[in-house]
């Protein structure tokens, strides 16, 4: 067998140390990216794509109507007002739909928020395409200001037929401290 | 090389500078017993608080610190080091080696442990208190919402991880390179085999734990977002990383326990171990399967059905090699000339109670049923049956079994038997009712409970006090044996014991097998 040292015990130690270091690296370079890739590819955990979707076909399936529900939640300690303009829409797969969410910053400070989406049932996530979403970017808002935040989405025609209702939930996080004042002052 | 025939150095520095496997084994064993008492004290506080419904003794925040530290201290401070200590003492003697392969590293892997636990325990006195997020330290509880002391916790985990990795590398290097001539792999005692496999598990997964706490550290102090949803991370990722370490970890704890009882049951059955080869293969199979079942700890996080099914079937598969082991232990006893000294009593106690814990594990593996059991006292009952009645009973059996060989004095058999029966009864009074309150919906890690659980909880607490008190008897028995036990000089302390360690004089001299032993060609494993 391949020997790294004349002393067999030292040889064993070097090989095992390599395994230990490799396993430490494995967490960062394999487990974390693989988890994210799997979640994106399979749409598990209700994660939707973080990037804008470009429509591939304009065909609209009028035979099916899907109910889309909107939920807006503030993460703990987030003082903003945050709500959808409508809580429910009836849409056809393939059609482009528009709606907005309202946000208001009741504090006197400039703040930055990040909305994190989640789809239920989670297997519908990969069929829920967003062509425009306020969740793609961090949302700065000056003190005591309000904003309309647009959302445009298309439901894929390949959505499993037994899915008739999709709930899109946004949780709004305060990321002011994470991004610093540069964005807040923008 | 100097003179090898000297005894131990004099004075306190003997223990600081020692590279002798027996000294280091002894220090590991005493350290782990001290941690067992410390973790036990935390458990007593938990059970005292739960003696009656309502808030009785401690603040809820402090209760959470107790559950967290109890788990961490017992897993990393008591059970794991105790088996490392046993490995240090026994592996060189069992394979006919003069010492461990890397004696200086051995000294180092022990001596970084006490500072790590001192640091962990010191968090109790810090502002904001000790870690209070459970021994599984799920993010974001352990990141966003943790007390500042979490950084000390992270460093303690890093240090004890390094200690475990060095200890395991040492064990593998010893077993692979220092066996006496003729001691082939398939002639090694089963305790050596289970430790060899355990050491490989440790080398593979302790770095994963280190990775998990490093990511926590980076999220807390360096602005990364591994586990923070706001920054694009995912708290569920933490659970995957943690349990990728955590499930092999439970086999790291139990496999050496399997090894120890596989030495003890044949000795008191006066028969060789039934199905030696199948025991080795079953151990390897369990170790392999432990890597592909981690998500059965997280059935309720919202996995796809395919994932739930995969982890459910893979988990159930573990029952097969484990069943092989239980079958082999029973078959070893079958028609044996049994006698019931304390080590045998603890081994049989292990066998019965571990099997119960295995069955509740099988219940928990069923994904749809697990939604009811998840995070209830049923889980607490399950893992105490496998951790306490499994690992701790086996360790206790091992101490009684080899103590006369270590110190040349016999423990008090009546006191040992009393210790067993009080432990066995106390343990069952503590944990059996927890199955019922768990099935009825009592959640774990909560300092208060609904009134209908009051009777069973009081029972549990009384049992815990009995079990806790019986360990003081154990401590007394061990000290009394070392100081004033009846002298033993027979090489084979137990008439049915087999193996190289029983060919050495009693008590085992400071240096053993400086010349490799000649193996009896008829000698097989023991």
Please, are residues B192 and B259 in contact by the beta-carbon 8 Å criterion?
yes
C-alpha span between B493 and A80 (Å, rounded): 75
* Partner residue facing A27 (CB), from B168, B212, B304: B212
CA nearest neighbour of B142 among B246, B70, B215, B77:
B215
Partners of A82 in beta bridges = A103
C-alpha span between B195 and B170 (Å, rounded): 11
Asked if the bond preceding A121 is cis, omega within 30° of 0, the reply is: yes
* Partner residue facing A178 (CB), from B204, B231, B241: B231
CA nearest neighbour of B501 among B486, B478, B523:
B523
C-alpha span between B322 and B379 (Å, rounded): 19
Q: What is the pLDDT of residue A185?
A: 44
Asked if the bond preceding B507 is cis, omega within 30° of 0, the reply is: yes
Residue of chain B nearest A11, judged by CA positions? B173
- The pLDDT of residue A184 is above 50: no
Partners of B487 in beta bridges = B409
Please, are residues B244 and A31 in contact by the beta-carbon 8 Å criterion?
yes
Contact: B165, A45; criterion CB under 8 Å? no
Helix, strand, coil % over all residues of chain B, rounded to 5: 70, 0, 30
Task: Report CA dihedral (B246, B249, B254, B255) to the nearest 10 degrees.
Answer: 140
Q: What is the pLDDT of residue B432?
A: 97
Helix, strand, coil % over all residues of chain A, rounded to 5: 30, 35, 35
Residue of chain B nearest A26, judged by CA positions? B208
Please, are residues B516 and B181 in contact by the beta-carbon 8 Å criterion?
yes
Please, are residues B229 and A171 in contact by the beta-carbon 8 Å criterion?
yes
Q: What is the pLDDT of residue A45?
A: 64
Whose structure tokens read 């090894």?
Answer: B259
Helix (H) or strand (E) holding B367: helix B367-373
- Which residues of B are annotated as catalytic? 70, 99, 135, 163-164, 247, 249, 251, 262, 296-297, 322, 325, 444
CA angle (B72 as vertex; B433, B205 as ends), nearest 5: 110
Which domains does chain B carry? 16-503 (1.20.210.10)
Q: What is the pLDDT of residue A186?
A: 42
* Partner residue facing A27 (CB), from B211, B231, B307: B211
Burial class (CB in 10 A: 0-12, 13-18, 19+), B439: middle
Q: What is the pLDDT of residue B5?
A: 57
- Nearest-Cα distance to chain B for A28, in Å, is 7
Q: Report strand pairing: A96-104 vs A81-84.
A: antiparallel
Q: What is the pLDDT of residue A36?
A: 81
C-alpha span between B220 and B428 (Å, rounded): 41
- Nearest-Cα distance to chain A for B105, in Å, is 11
- Nearest-Cα distance to chain B for A56, in Å, is 27
Compute φ and ψ for B496, nearest 5 degrees. Answer: -95, 0
C-alpha span between B271 and A26 (Å, rounded): 45
C-alpha span between A173 and A114 (Å, rounded): 5
Chain A, chain B: beta-carbon pairs less than 8 Å apart: 98
* Cβ-proximal residues to A81 (8 Å cutoff; 6+ apart), any chain: A102, A103, A104, A106, A146
* Partner residue facing A12 (CB), from B173, B208, B240: B173
C-alpha span between B160 and A69 (Å, rounded): 49
Joined together, the tokens standing for residue B22 give 């027996």
Architecture of domain A46-184: Sandwich (2.60)
Contact: A23, B229; criterion CB under 8 Å? no
Compute φ and ψ for A37, nearest 5 degrees. Answer: -65, -45
Joined together, the tokens standing for residue B257 give 């326990």
Contact: B230, A13; criterion CB under 8 Å? no
Tens-digit pLDDT string for chain B (526 aa): 444 556 788 888 889 999 999 999 999 999 999 999 999 999 999 999 999 999 989 999 999 999 999 999 999 999 999 999 999 999 999 999 999 999 999 999 999 999 999 999 999 999 999 999 999 999 889 998 899 999 999 999 999 999 999 999 999 999 999 999 999 999 999 999 999 999 999 999 999 999 999 999 999 999 888 998 887 788 999 999 999 999 999 999 999 999 999 999 999 999 999 999 999 999 999 999 999 999 999 999 888 888 899 999 999 999 999 999 999 999 999 999 999 999 999 999 999 999 999 999 999 999 999 999 999 999 999 999 999 999 999 999 999 999 999 999 999 999 999 999 999 999 999 999 999 999 999 999 999 999 999 999 999 999 999 999 999 999 999 999 999 999 999 999 999 999 999 999 999 999 999 999 988 765 555 4
- Secondary structure (3-state) at B208: helix
Compute φ and ψ for A160, nearest 5 degrees. Answer: -50, 140
Joined together, the tokens standing for residue B331 give 């078959």
Contact: B210, A24; criterion CB under 8 Å? yes
Contact: B206, A20; criterion CB under 8 Å? yes
Note the maximum CA span of chain A: 75
DSSP per-residue letters across B56-119 = -SS-HHHHHHHHHHHHHIIIIIIIHHHHHHHHHHHHHHHHT-SS-S-HHHHHHHHHTHHHHHHH
Partners of A72 in beta bridges = A170
Crossing angle (nearest 10°) for helices B80-95 and B21-49: 150
- Nearest-Cα distance to chain B for A24, in Å, is 5
Q: What is the pLDDT of residue A37?
A: 82
Residue of chain A nearest B168, judged by CA positions? A16
* Cβ-proximal residues to B359 (8 Å cutoff; 6+ apart), any chain: none
Contact: B102, A27; criterion CB under 8 Å? no
The DSSP output letter for B443 is B
- Secondary structure (3-state) at B436: helix
Partners of B177 in beta bridges = none
Give A38-69 pLDDT, tens digit per residue: 877 766 666 676 677 777 777 888 888 999 99
> What percentage of chain A reaches a pLDDT higher than 70?
89
- Secondary structure (3-state) at A71: strand
Contact: B208, A23; criterion CB under 8 Å? yes
């Amino acid at each position: 067998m391949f020997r790294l040292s004349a002393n067999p015990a030292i040889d064993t130690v070097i090989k095992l140390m390599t395994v230990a270091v490799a396993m430490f690296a494995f967490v960062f370079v394999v487990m974390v990216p693989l988890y994210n890739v799997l979640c994106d590819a399979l749409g598990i955990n209700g994660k939707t794509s973080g990037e804008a979707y470009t429509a591939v076909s304009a065909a609209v399936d009028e035979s099916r109507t899907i109910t889309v529900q909107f939920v807006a939640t503030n993460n703990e300690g987030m003082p903003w007002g945050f709500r959808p303009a409508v809580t429910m829409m009836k849409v056809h797969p393939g059609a482009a739909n528009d709606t907005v969410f309202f946000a208001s910053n009741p504090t006197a400070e400039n703040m930055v928020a990040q909305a994190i989406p989640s789809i239920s049932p989670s297997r519908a996530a990969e069929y829920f395409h967003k062509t425009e979403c306020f969740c793609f970017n961090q949302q700065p808002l000056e003190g005591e200001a309000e904003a309309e935040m647009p959302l445009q989405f298309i439901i894929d025609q390949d959505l499993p037929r037994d899915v008739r209702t999709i709930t899109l939930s946004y949780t709004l996080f305060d990321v002011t401290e994470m991004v610093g004042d540069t964005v807040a002052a923008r | 090389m100097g003179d090898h025939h000297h005894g131990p150095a004099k004075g306190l520095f003997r223990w600081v500078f020692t590279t002798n496997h027996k000294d280091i084994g002894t220090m590991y064993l005493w350290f782990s017993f001290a941690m067992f008492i410390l973790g036990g004290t935390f458990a007593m506080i938990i059970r005292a608080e739960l003696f009656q419904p309502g808030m009785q003794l401690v603040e809820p925040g402090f209760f959470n610190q107790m559950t967290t530290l109890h788990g961490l201290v017992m897993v990393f401070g008591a059970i794991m080091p105790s088996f490392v200590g046993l490995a240090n003492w026994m592996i060189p003697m069992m394979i006919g080696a003069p010492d461990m392969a890397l004696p200086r590293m051995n000294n180092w892997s022990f001596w970084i442990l006490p500072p790590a636990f001192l640091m962990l325990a010191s968090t109790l006195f810090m502002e904001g208190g000790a870690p209070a997020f459970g021994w599984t330290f799920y993010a974001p509880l352990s990141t966003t919402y943790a007390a500042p002391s979490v950084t000390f916790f992270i460093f303690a985990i890093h240090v004890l991880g390094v200690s475990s990795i060095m200890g395991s590398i040492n064990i593998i290097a010893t077993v692979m390179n220092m066996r006496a001539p003729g001691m082939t792999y398939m002639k090694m005692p089963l305790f050596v085999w289970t430790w060899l496999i355990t050491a490989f598990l440790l080398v593979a997964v302790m770095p994963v734990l280190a990775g998990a706490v490093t990511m926590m550290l980076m999220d807390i102090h360096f602005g990364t977002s591994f586990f923070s949803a706001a920054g694009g991370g995912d708290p569920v990722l933490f659970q995957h990383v943690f349990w990728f370490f955590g499930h092999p970890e439970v086999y790291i704890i139990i496999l050496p326990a399997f090894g120890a009882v596989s030495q003890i049951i044949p000795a008191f059955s006066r028969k060789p171990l039934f199905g030696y080869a199948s025991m080795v293969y079953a151990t390897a199979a369990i170790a392999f399967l432990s890597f592909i079942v981690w998500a059965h700890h997280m059935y309720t996080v919202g996995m796809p059905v395919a994932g739930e099914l995969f982890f459910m079937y893979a988990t159930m598969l573990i029952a097969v090699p484990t069943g092989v082991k239980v079958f082999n232990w029973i078959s070893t006893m079958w028609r044996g000339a049994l006698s019931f000294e304390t080590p045998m009593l603890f081994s049989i106690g292990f066998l019965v109670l571990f099997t119960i814990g295995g069955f509740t594990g099988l219940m928990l593996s069923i994904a749809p049923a697990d939604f009811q059991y998840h995070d209830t006292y049923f889980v607490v009952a399950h893992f105490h049956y496998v951790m306490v009645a499994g690992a701790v009973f086996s360790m206790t059996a091992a101490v009684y079994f080899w103590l006369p060989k270590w110190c040349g004095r016999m423990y008090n058999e009546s006191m040992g038997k009393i210790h067993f029966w009080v432990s066995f009864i106390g343990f069952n009074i503590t944990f059996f009712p927890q199955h019922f309150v768990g099935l009825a919906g009592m959640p774990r890690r909560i300092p208060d409970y609904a009134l209908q659980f009051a009777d069973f909880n009081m029972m549990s607490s009384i049992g815990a006090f009995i079990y806790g008190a019986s360990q003081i008897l154990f401590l007394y028995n061990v000290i009394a044996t070392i100081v004033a036990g009846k002298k033993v000089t027979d090489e084979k302390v137990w008439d049915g014991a087999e193996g190289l360690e029983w060919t050495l004089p009693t008590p085992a001299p400071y240096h053993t097998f400086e010349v490799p032993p000649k193996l009896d060609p008829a000698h097989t494993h023991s």
